[in-house]
Amino acid sequence: MNTNILWQPNPEKATASQMQEFLKNISKKYQLKNEDYPTLHKWSVENPDKFWGEFWEYSKIKCSQDFSSVVDDFEKMPGAKWFEGARLNYAENLLQRRDDKTAIIFRGEAEIEKEISYKELYEQVRRIAAGLKKLGVKKDDRVAGFMPNVPETIIAMLAVSSIGAIWSSSSPDFGIKGVLDRFSQIEPKVIFAADGYFFKGKKFDSQEKLKGILDQLPSIEKVVLVNYTNTVDTEKFSNAITFEDLAQPTEEELVFEQLPFDHPLYIMYSSGTTGLPKSIVHSAGGTLIQHLKELKLHCDLRDDDVHFYFTTCGWMMWNWFVSSLAVGATIVCYDGNPFYPNLDALIHMAKDLDISIFGTSAKYIAMLESEGVIPKNISDFPKLKAILSTGSPLSDESFEYVYRDWKADVQLSSIAGGTDIISCFVLGNPLLPVYKGEIQCNGLGMDVDSFDDAGQSITEDKGELVCKKAFPSMPIYFWNDEDGQKYHSAYFSEYPNIWHHGDYILISEHGGVTMHGRSDATLNPGGVRIGTAELYRAVENMEEINDSVVVGQRYEDDERVVLFVKMNEGF
């Protein structure tokens, strides 16, 4: 066996996976040459109209009106029109279950615990939607969240999207300027805000910060305060009500506005190198179908799974993992420091809650290893089938650590994509082996390639991550970008009609992908291209170093590489 192969799928489990079921159906219907993933992927990018149409049927997306065509022109980037004629609602797809099964488990650092069933979730969304309508919120209005990762954030988002309004959120640990840089661009009508949050055993008040934000955000007509740290004070604000006041008992039915596939759902933010963050608008249909493809096929998520992702509400992984409700799974929200009160706090939570899919950042896994945490000493995690990692490239050492010290039989899926597409370009696969340091494969329907400086396709060498055909979760537009110029220059100025993502990757002969950091952060000393991730990888495991930043600097007609380090105590 190749020593770089750390995990092989169990043949029985692979055969029972949703990816295998989908592959079998497609292989039979379209007489594919081989019944394997590379053949399926090739077919999916050569026939995007057939692939996305087939997946729509497979995933049983709930709609009130069917589409007339899957896509008008998949060679057109940007501007391809997907699923024209379809009418649907994102929230309705996430609230199909109305039973007593647990929808959301909440665990907070301050020993706050909560569980909400699908029935209770539907009821809460119904009340909040009715309350929002009374406040005058309607289709296309923007509603902001200045919230920690608590159930109320999900309830508010679903209520907003049921109406056809647009949700945008920011984490409460952001500074006033950071929040205003985002929300002032989109002029929200209502803001949901928690009174505070917990971190490392301390309680932080958000209400003073909120006042500072509201002073410079005149579009806000109503503030909805969520009592999380028991410090809510509506008197501080002239236009505030509590979440409970908004959720008053009502006879009003929950009406899911039936909207076009490309109706705006979320506004996300991605910082450029200059100016205000880009305000990226994502569609309800594109977000839903892409998330379902990734969750069902690539993660093999099912309704009996317990899915956890360590994230804030300002990161796209929150939006991604919340879509698990459309599968009928149970999701686990956590708020606080992942290493409080102990370094293994989340590991114990994974054991106690029987988490089957555990999502986190590469940094978290590296930290566990550097601090000597050995999860397998806590439990053998019988239900855990996948560990997902994103945010930065996962080092070879972290791959080895997971299989040595956490669980030998687990699918370790490093995944990568971004806010810009609210999903993944490259990710895991229950049918393929895990190679050390590699992401398993390109996503279905994603025509991902690696280009050299001349714009030629390359394997086994580092190049630019590009996507050569349109896909449904591309942004529909940027906010306040009437002529589409900002959108075009963000992704299409490098290679006409080809998405240029700004990541530096290597695609292996067997189709695995190694991330080498942002290509706009690529260093070029003496003409040798080095991704910053390669340097971070080298210092990540040095016990002397707490944190580091590497930059390229023009120097004597060349570029030199400067590494700034923050030392740990005692060094």
What is the structure's pLDDT at 504? 87
Count CB-CB contacts under 10 A for residue 446: 28
What is the structure's pLDDT at 533? 65
Comparing C-alpha atoms, which of 460, 198, 516 is closest to residue 337?
Answer: 198
What is the structure's pLDDT at 513? 95
What is the structure's pLDDT at 1? 57
What is the structure's pLDDT at 426? 97
What is the structure's pLDDT at 485? 94
Q: At what angle do helices 151-163 and 118-134 cross, to 10 degrees?
A: 60
What is the structure's pLDDT at 484? 93
Q: Residue 277: is it exposed, middle or buried by C-beta count within 10 angstroms (0-12/13-18/19+)?
A: middle
Comparing C-alpha atoms, which of 125, 422, 133, 71 is closest to residue 261?
Answer: 71
Q: Of all residues in the chain, what percent are helix, strand and coil, respectively (each to 5)?
A: 30, 30, 40
Q: Tell me how far apart the alpha carbons of residues 253 and 233 are, in angstroms, rounded to a whole number.
A: 31
| Cβ atoms of 86 and 63 closer than 8 Å | yes
Comparing C-alpha atoms, which of 538, 539, 433 is closest to residue 7?
Answer: 433
Specify the residue for token string 């929002």: 132
Name the β-bridge partners of 63. Answer: 88
Global pTM value: 0.92
What is the structure's pLDDT at 535? 75
What is the structure's pLDDT at 184? 96
CA 548 to chain centre: 25
Q: Tell me how far apart the alpha carbons of residues 331 and 444 are, in angstroms, rounded to a whole number.
A: 24
What is the structure's pLDDT at 518? 73
Q: Residue 275: is it exposed, middle or buried by C-beta count within 10 angstroms (0-12/13-18/19+)?
A: exposed
**In a structure prediction context, what are the per-residue pLDDT tens digits for the chain, which is 571 residues long?**
577 999 999 999 999 999 999 999 999 999 999 999 999 999 999 999 999 999 999 999 999 999 999 999 999 999 999 999 999 999 999 999 999 999 999 999 888 899 999 999 999 999 999 999 999 999 999 999 999 999 999 999 999 999 999 999 999 988 898 899 999 999 999 999 999 999 999 999 999 999 999 999 999 999 999 999 999 999 999 999 999 999 999 999 999 999 999 999 999 998 755 578 889 999 999 999 999 999 999 999 999 999 999 999 999 999 999 999 999 999 999 999 999 999 999 999 999 999 999 999 998 999 999 999 999 999 999 999 999 999 888 889 999 999 999 999 999 999 999 999 999 999 999 999 999 999 999 999 999 999 998 899 999 999 999 999 999 999 999 999 999 999 999 999 999 899 999 888 999 999 999 988 777 666 666 655 566 766 776 787 788 998 888 887 877 666 788 899 999 999 9
What is the structure's pLDDT at 522? 60
What is the structure's pLDDT at 547? 87
Count CB-CB contacts under 10 A for residue 510: 14
Specify the residue for token string 């295998």: 20
